[in-house]
Structure 1
Amino acid sequence: MLPLKTYQERVLEHLENFCKLCITKGAAETAFLEYTGRSYLGIRQLPGLPYVCLRVPTGGGKTLIASHSVSIVRKEYLRIDNCTVLWIVPTNQIKEQTLKALKDRNHPYRLALESKNDGDIHVLDLQEANFTGAADYEQSTCIIVTTLAALRIEDINGRKIYESNGHLLNHFIGMSEMQKNNLEKGENGEILYSLANVLRLRRPIIIMDEAHNARTELSFDSLARFSPSAIVEFTATPQQIHEPDKGLYASNVLHSVSAAELKAEWMIKMPIYLETNNNWQDILNKAIAKRNDLEKIALNEQKQSKEYIRPILLIQAQPRSQQRENLTVEVVRQSLINDFKIPEDQVKIQTGDIKELEDIDLFNDTCDVRYIITVQALREGWDCSFAYVLCSIPDIGSATAAEQLIGRILRLPNAIKKVNDELNNAYAYVVSNQFHQTLATLGSGLIENGFTEFEAKSIIKSMGEEPNLLNLAVVHTKKVNSVPDLNKLFGNLVEKVAYKPETQEIEVKGFINEEEKEQIQKCFINDKDKTVVETIFADIKKKIGITTKNQENAWMKPTENILVPSLSFKVEGQLQIFEDIHFLNAQWDILKYDAKLDGTSLTQIEDKSRLGKIEVDTKGNIEYRFIEELHEQLSYLVTDKEWAEEELIFWLDRNVEHQDISQAKFVVFVHKIIKDLVENQKMELKKIVYYKFNLRDKIKVLINNYRKKARKENYQTALLSESITVDESKTFTFNPEIYPANWAYTGRYKFNKHYFSEVGELKESGEEFDCAVYLDSLPEVKYWFRNLERQPLYSFWLQTSTDKFYPDFVALLEDGRILVVEYKGEPWSQTLDSDEKNVLGKFWSERSDGNCLFIMATKDNLGKIAELVRKRK
């Protein structure tokens, strides 16, 4: 199975935590507010429904994460053994690709689905689902892959899923009154034996893959007809504006992944080098030359790393036109063959009409394809990480076109850093006489692929001598006195300029040149508003202009790595970074501890489901008991036979992680728990099986508490052993180009000594910010950086008895010593956790023989940082 990247694991961890919180809090709104600190934005058609968004930029592996998410939602939220999933994708092309991947038992997506699933997996399209009986749903997890358009009743195929179908009759036998009341009926009042009703009965999880057009009233109406249990949206560009009166519904973003996190895991090619030229054959010639150079480098790469790469050049031709002679796909193909002597078998066309890539495996080392010509067909669904070079013959005129094309060259083959750095980058050649405008448009395209404005600025670089003016999708807004006549605009300005009547503002997006400024001015009659346009143009020039002052203040990439000695443990003469495996080992014996649980606690959460679906609070507001009602309905679908104790233990063995406990000892421990519940607490085994998900949770908590006790005992022994040392031969190495911050500092204060180009995960005010400013001002500090939480591969950490401790700041001093600072606010400065971290940090410092310094700082003792660094060892 394809291993998950660190950021992918974190996405799934956030989803799992939210699902658990929904259960304990009983409502998605409460859980979301507590987890994120933001209000939950509900949908009128789906009251109470958990509908959350996980934002992952293009190239981040959204579908792999989505595949893993199914078992998380099933186990932690639905708490059932098998579930129904409605997997919705944006286009038919992506639907076919997704179906093929999920049905392939060797594909990483299918393996991810199966990895934490107890039963079989059935992957279906809508037609197959219309003939699938109840037994398949009861004994396996059924995943129906479709598009949103196909679910709308206006669609001729979509209409069939709302009609009675005799093949589905056995789904509706033996229903409870509650189930019957939830189903759609025909004109005669009879229940429709439709696929839509099968879904309403099964309460599907909806996986929304790239919900570009899914957040509309019409879409919500369609989704509500299936009575979903939860919706998890995976997208690079979640809707940000929430104005339901205008038909705009913002996504409830649970977690966002940054471009820096993707780059650190070598998921995407960065940077993208751009070159423009007004002559299409010149620019094509340069693109071909670049591809040829990359192939030579790739051959060398294969000798060094054994990895096969055949760089591909994507060429966007012009569409056919009745009005003028265009550079169509055929014209470009003939130019490649006749003018550049490219062998014909290396060139393929992929358009809406011509599909020469079908049934070709571009990754096969026997494949000769090196050039692919398209117009728009590669925009969505097509993916080949061998695509390194993009050549756009029509000027990329809109952010949408740029977004869809630039996304095709972002992925890095095999998500592995290449030995030759040229293969870690991508290259774009565009026919254009306006470099800055093309730069801005490509930047806007990156933003549409899920990157922030700051990230987009750092990704695109000039290939030639052009200045790196990377204010890509900056929006300039000014109030005007009259309504402009925007019908006078033409070309790219149509997309760049907008008027907001509600605020009487004109909005200009990205870079404009002198000629475009004059175009905009012609949209106004009075001189005052023309002056406003002049002001906007001046602001843009100021924004992108690189002055001497800007160069002085600009971040200069350090030329040295920072090496921070780790707390190390000697194992058979070899140094290893000290972590939990060195003290949580065979000495940890679960059978030393009591195997007892309170049986009455097993039923507490489920008993809440006997509450009504809707209640009225003390203020007269309606409260939807969505989750309780959901679990009650799902309970009618459970068809467990009478389980023997051995079957329950086997189920718990699969559903409780216990890598540090042998299976034999785990089985004995769980057997003792069940025996106590049955013999001493007089619980029937059937009832224990019914509440098996609660039993699983209670066992997890019990084992984890015992684990903590064992950790503390063994941890102290390990720390006092002679095997613990701090040695400069075993270090955390920091490279100025790799810093996977999830979000960046955006405050006005400009830091001068931060080691990385951006300050990660630091708020623009507060006590930690004050500490950062203090570090930045110390003359003894050469570089410092914000140490990122929970990034074990890219941050400095020390192992505590329970987890990894990530101090807030790390600094390299001018004399070569290392300073580590953990900042604690007043409420947390005197806790047991803080005491353990303080002792551990000082222990690490002492073992370094004065080469490393540690201090736990508070707002009242920042001055002690200076005292510490000025002491000599």
Structure 2
Amino acid sequence: MELKQYQKEVIADLDAYIEYAEKYNRLDTAFHKFWEDKGVSISSYDNYYLHPYDNSITGVPHITVKVPTAGGKTFIACNALNTIFRHMPADKPKVVTWFVPSDTILKQTYKNLNDPSHPYRQKIDSHFGNAVCVVDKEAALFGHGIGPTEIREQLTIFVLSVQSFAANNKDGRRVYRENENLVEYAKLYDNMTKRVNGSDETGLIQVLSYLNPVVIIDESHNFEADLRVDMLKAINPCFILDLTATPRKKSNIISFVDAIKLKRANMVKLPVIVYNHRSTNDVISSAIQMQRSLEQKAVAMEAEGGRYIRPIVLFQAQPKTDDDNITFDKIKNKLVEIGIPEDQIKIKTANKDEIKNTNLMSRDCPVRYIITVNALKEGWDCPFAYILASLANKTSRVDVEQILGRVLRLPYTTKHKEELLDLSYVFTSSNDFRSTVENVIEGLNRAGFSKKDYRVAEVPAEPASVPTELPSRSLFDNDDADMPAIAPTDDIDEQINPETIKTTIATPATNTGTVELEAFARQENENYNQQAAQQTDNNDIPNDIKGMINTYPIKDVFADSAKELALPHFVKKINANLIFADEYVPLDKTMLAEGFDLDKCDHNIDFTPAKSEAVRVDLEKSSGEEYAVTRRNLNANQLSFIKRHFATLSPESKQRQLAEMLAKSIRFDEISEPQVARYIKKAIEGADTEQLEVLYSNDWQTRNTIRQKIESLLSAYQEKKFKEWLDTGQVKCQAAYRLPERITVRIKSIGLAKGLYTEEESINGFEYEVINAVANLDNVLFWHRNPSRTGFCINGYMNHYPDFIVRLNSGITVLLETKGDDRDNSDSRAKVELGRTWANKAGEQYRYFMVFDKQEMEGAVTIKELLQRLSVM
């Protein structure tokens, strides 16, 4: 299971923020500069989503990622651990406290993270060399797998619920009590150890505070209460990552995931088709007919090579009390009376669970109807759930917002040949339809989506009339007076008439409105996809904040030409199936590591001694507030302790410990940690005791030397593999990147003609000299400053963002990379070779040039040479 493109962007944002924090040494400055480089001035406004950095958890990096329901928050978090710990000191214990919002979700999260066959655990194992231990609170209280020695040899993840770890309840207080199972930790404390108020020195919360963990918070909006913030402070985190679809106001958001990105990645069933009926009977009839119709289409699709899908209906009941099971049982009995086989109907509530240990996606599972109340709090979902049918009486509030997100996940995260299986459906019966739709919007908002992601259809006013086209109504149409009056009742026996429903579902679909509803859904799906295709978000501005940022459009004179331009990027051929003859996905350089074997590579590394000092990353006060991130020298006692301990080991133990310690901090997505450790051990096997101690004391320098060596080996292999795949047709160029309709600009350029947008980013020095000369050529139509990270990337064995995109009157598009003679760097030759390869594969309408002032390099040109070549194109 690999990251989707938008998930990679989230991880890139996380990595970038941490790099900003290391560069600027202040958390607030890092946050400000992070957004400033995206064209957003944090200091210029304070709104719900973006505002100056909030330091509620004093001195600790505390950031939030906004990801809609079904966006894969847990998988993002699994990958984020690698990124976070990569920036930590090598000798820091790798400890994570992973908070979830309820005990039910805790069981699910713990099960998945603890299962070696689950994609979540497999991804974590791949990053941490299979040295992973996952514990819940009970195991932790007994000290299972979390002794001081074990903690230092592994990644340890404590999966904890908010409720069971709070100090204001009896169960939560257990973590503060004396614990003989954790007594070894008390021997390790010193006068620098933070003490937790009210906790015994052997209490679990004191041990966690000593371990200074990374904190992951799933659904972080549940952490708003002051008691929970106090508990979080007591744990003494070194880093906090919040993931939620609905961030709280004080959240420091560094990454937004839009619904459209989830739709493009085939993660969600959008749009949501909302259909209001006259009665509960009609809701049930329509749900049954739609389920059967979708299943027939799923069977036909599978026969043509598609995946197995068995659409499920969620009947949402609303009991009078939390423990009232009578309502659920009555609904189930009514469905059986209608003729639904009993084994196809299950009840799933907080107090009655008939789908426990059931694999709802198994071909052997008969379940097609689930009666529930609040799937979100009940902690379950299933991608086969397609239809949410509310059975509330007509005057009740239709509380779909807590359950709507459960039907949004798309099976197998792939687009299906039958488009109706790419959508989700909500059936209701309400006299106040406007309130109902507002409730649907609230449900979408709660799930991280918006009112753009649903479509409303409504039943005709006269039951006997079946129009050829189903009417669509606006949210604010007030036609409820046309609906037949039905006396409200809470009695399920009176709401549901099995005989009436049986008669309706026995009627041919062409006479029941199902065909019209499906036609409406197809048309709205087409409209939604067209809108998605037209929305270009390459400028990296999330929809959530687009209205808050000054952006600049393409000049009208260039609009048509810019719209035609689709820059090719490299794509990789993947295994074809029966539905698609050939399928290509964007090339990621990690793909190019296929077959790379570090064990067989050159192990000779030059460890030239250099004066260095051991350091650790920590937070310290700056200007009276704990915002700064600095490297603080280890004191003499600490250095002495490290050397004394290391000196007691045998030469073999020294090699093993040094190799394993370094491997934990030198992580590659493409190479397993054990393989890195083996490589390091072989590289240092000839070192004597004194040399090993020097390498150990100067671990930062040693780590960087080894990383650079492995990076060079991996890069050379990826370049070779890239060329091989080009030759064999596994990689090709395919038009993909379109220029964004609007861009953000931090500082406007002045005095340059023919910029594509009404404003372009400021350009200085040699870059200005080059583009000014280019713009003055008669045959140049327009140019654009291509931003790094968010602009067009030549995605080969390295990610190369050329400085400029230039369009000529002839239709030729030119990519320019400028290099002042004082700014040559080691990757210039690789960039120019990749750029020229791209131009050759992209086609006759594309060119690439690297431009130096006067210096000569094979494949590059001077300004004079560039102008001569462009002028004749």
Q: TM-score, normalised by structure 2?
A: 0.67
Q: Match for residue 732 of structure 1?
A: 734
Find the aligned partners of 2:679 and 2:377 in 1 and give their Cα distance: 55
Q: What is the aligned residue count?
A: 715
Find the aligned partners of 1:216 and 1:800 in 2 and give their Cα distance: 47
Find the aligned partners of 2:587 and 2:237 in 1 and give their Cα distance: 46
- Verify the 8 A CA contact 2:306 2:417 in the aligned structure 1: no
1:235 equivalent in alignment to 2:244 = yes
Q: Report the AA paired with residue 192 of structure 2.
A: M
SS at match of 2:304: helix
Alpha-carbon offset, residue 803 of structure 1: 2.4
Q: Deviations over 1:677-698 (max 9, x none)?
A: x78xx96423423543553234
Alpha-carbon offset, residue 352 of structure 1: 3.3
Q: Deviations over 1:363-405 (max 9, x none)?
A: 2211111001122355552111110111112279999933322
Seen in structure 2, the aligned counterparts of structure 1 residues 134 and 637 have a Cα distance that, compared at 3 Å, is farther
Q: Match for residue 424 of structure 2?
A: 426
1:205 equivalent in alignment to 2:214 = yes
Q: Select the residue among 121, 124, 136 that pairs with 2:135.
A: 124
Q: Select the residue among 356, 359, 362 that pairs with 2:360.
A: 362
SS at match of 1:57: coil
Seen in structure 2, the aligned counterparts of structure 1 residues 294 and 668 have a Cα distance that, compared at 3 Å, is closer
Q: Match for residue 756 of structure 2?
A: 771
Q: Report the AA paired with residue 385 of structure 1.
A: P
Seen in structure 2, the aligned counterparts of structure 1 residues 415 and 693 have a Cα distance that, compared at 3 Å, is farther
Q: Match for residue 696 of structure 1?
A: 703
Q: Report the AA paired with residue 125 of structure 2.
A: E
Give the 5 Å matches for 1:85-164. 85-118=96-129, 120-132=131-143, 133-164=147-178
Alpha-carbon offset, residue 809 of structure 1: 7.7
Q: Report the AA paired with residue 223 of structure 2.
A: A
Q: Select the residue among 194, 205, 210 that pairs with 1:196.
A: 205
Seen in structure 2, the aligned counterparts of structure 1 residues 328 and 594 have a Cα distance that, compared at 3 Å, is closer
Q: Deviations over 1:514-544 (max 9, x none)?
A: 999xxxxxxxxxxxxxxxxxxxxxxxxxxxx
1:54 equivalent in alignment to 2:50 = no
Q: Match for residue 10 of structure 2?
A: 11
Q: Report the AA paired with residue 164 of structure 1.
A: E
Find the aligned partners of 2:594 and 2:2 in 1 and give their Cα distance: 24
Give the 5 Å matches for 1:510-529. 511=476
Find the aligned partners of 2:785 and 2:300 in 1 and give their Cα distance: 38
- Verify the 8 A CA contact 2:312 2:370 in the aligned structure 1: yes
Q: Select the residue among 83, 100, 112 that pairs with 1:72.
A: 83
Seen in structure 2, the aligned counterparts of structure 1 residues 616 and 459 have a Cα distance that, compared at 3 Å, is closer
Alpha-carbon offset, residue 407 of structure 1: 0.3
Find the aligned partners of 1:149 and 1:317 in 2 and give their Cα distance: 26
- Verify the 8 A CA contact 2:614 2:700 in the aligned structure 1: no
SS at match of 2:297: helix
1:183 equivalent in alignment to 2:192 = no
Q: Match for residue 864 of structure 1?
A: none
Alpha-carbon offset, residue 591 of structure 1: 8.6
Find the aligned partners of 2:437 and 2:394 in 1 and give their Cα distance: 10
Find the aligned partners of 2:314 and 2:678 in 1 and give their Cα distance: 60
Find the aligned partners of 2:293 and 2:60 in 1 and give their Cα distance: 53
Give the 5 Å matches for 1:365-764. 365-394=363-392, 401-433=399-431, 437-451=435-449, 453=450, 456-460=451-455, 462=457, 511=476, 595-597=605-607, 599-600=609-610, 602-603=612-613, 605-606=615-616, 617=623, 621-623=624-626, 642=649, 643-645=653-655, 648-649=658-659, 652=662, 656=666, 684-692=691-699, 694-701=701-708, 704=711, 732=734, 759=741
Find the aligned partners of 1:409 and 1:365 in 2 and give their Cα distance: 19
Q: Deviations over 1:278-331 (max 9, x none)?
A: 222112211211110111111123223352211101111232389xx9994344
Which sits farther off after the overlay, 197-206 or 597-606? Answer: 597-606
- Verify the 8 A CA contact 1:126 1:146 in the aligned structure 2: yes
Alpha-carbon offset, residue 208 of structure 1: 0.5
Q: Deviations over 1:609-646 (max 9, x none)?
A: 6xxx75564xxx35566765799999999887834335
| Residue segments in structure 1 that go unaligned for 5+ positions in a row | 242-249, 473-510, 517-550, 740-753, 776-783, 858-870
Q: Match for residue 481 of structure 1?
A: none
Seen in structure 2, the aligned counterparts of structure 1 residues 807 and 674 have a Cα distance that, compared at 3 Å, is same
Find the aligned partners of 1:651 and 1:61 in 2 and give their Cα distance: 31
Seen in structure 2, the aligned counterparts of structure 1 residues 683 and 255 have a Cα distance that, compared at 3 Å, is farther
- Verify the 8 A CA contact 2:349 2:378 in the aligned structure 1: no
- Verify the 8 A CA contact 1:295 1:311 in the aligned structure 2: yes
- Verify the 8 A CA contact 1:562 1:812 in the aligned structure 2: no
SS at match of 1:225: helix
- Verify the 8 A CA contact 1:810 1:818 in the aligned structure 2: no
Q: TM-score, normalised by structure 1?
A: 0.67
- Verify the 8 A CA contact 1:590 1:665 in the aligned structure 2: no
Q: Match for residue 488 of structure 2?
A: none
Q: Report the AA paired with residue 83 of structure 2.
A: I
Q: Match for residue 347 of structure 1?
A: 345
| Residue segments in structure 2 that go unaligned for 5+ positions in a row | 37-41, 44-50, 460-468, 482-526, 535-562, 574-581, 761-782, 852-870
Which sits farther off after the overlay, 8-17 or 639-648? Answer: 639-648
- Verify the 8 A CA contact 1:53 1:234 in the aligned structure 2: yes
Seen in structure 2, the aligned counterparts of structure 1 residues 669 and 856 have a Cα distance that, compared at 3 Å, is closer
Identity of aligned residues (%): 26
Q: Deviations over 1:422-442 (max 9, x none)?
A: 212112212134555544432
Q: Deviations over 1:756-804 (max 9, x none)?
A: xx947667996799625799xxxxxxxx99999879xxx9754578424
- Verify the 8 A CA contact 1:317 1:327 in the aligned structure 2: no
Find the aligned partners of 1:587 and 1:221 in 2 and give their Cα distance: 48
Q: Match for residue 524 of structure 1?
A: none
Seen in structure 2, the aligned counterparts of structure 1 residues 70 and 671 have a Cα distance that, compared at 3 Å, is closer
1:165 equivalent in alignment to 2:165 = no
Seen in structure 2, the aligned counterparts of structure 1 residues 627 and 578 have a Cα distance that, compared at 3 Å, is closer
Find the aligned partners of 1:3 and 1:259 in 2 and give their Cα distance: 19
Find the aligned partners of 1:402 and 1:48 in 2 and give their Cα distance: 40
- Verify the 8 A CA contact 2:733 2:841 in the aligned structure 1: no
Seen in structure 2, the aligned counterparts of structure 1 residues 59 and 724 have a Cα distance that, compared at 3 Å, is closer
| Larger RCO (CA within 8 A; separation ≥ 6) | 2
Q: Report the AA paired with residue 242 of structure 2.
A: E
Q: Match for residue 799 of structure 2?
A: 803
Find the aligned partners of 2:786 and 2:398 in 1 and give their Cα distance: 36
- Verify the 8 A CA contact 1:313 1:372 in the aligned structure 2: yes
Find the aligned partners of 1:812 and 1:674 in 2 and give their Cα distance: 56
SS at match of 1:603: coil
Q: Report the AA paired with residue 693 of structure 2.
A: K
Q: Report the AA paired with residue 756 of structure 2.
A: C
Alpha-carbon offset, residue 649 of structure 1: 4.2
- Verify the 8 A CA contact 1:304 1:419 in the aligned structure 2: no
Seen in structure 2, the aligned counterparts of structure 1 residues 388 and 711 have a Cα distance that, compared at 3 Å, is closer
Alpha-carbon offset, residue 53 of structure 1: 1.0
Seen in structure 2, the aligned counterparts of structure 1 residues 840 and 120 have a Cα distance that, compared at 3 Å, is closer
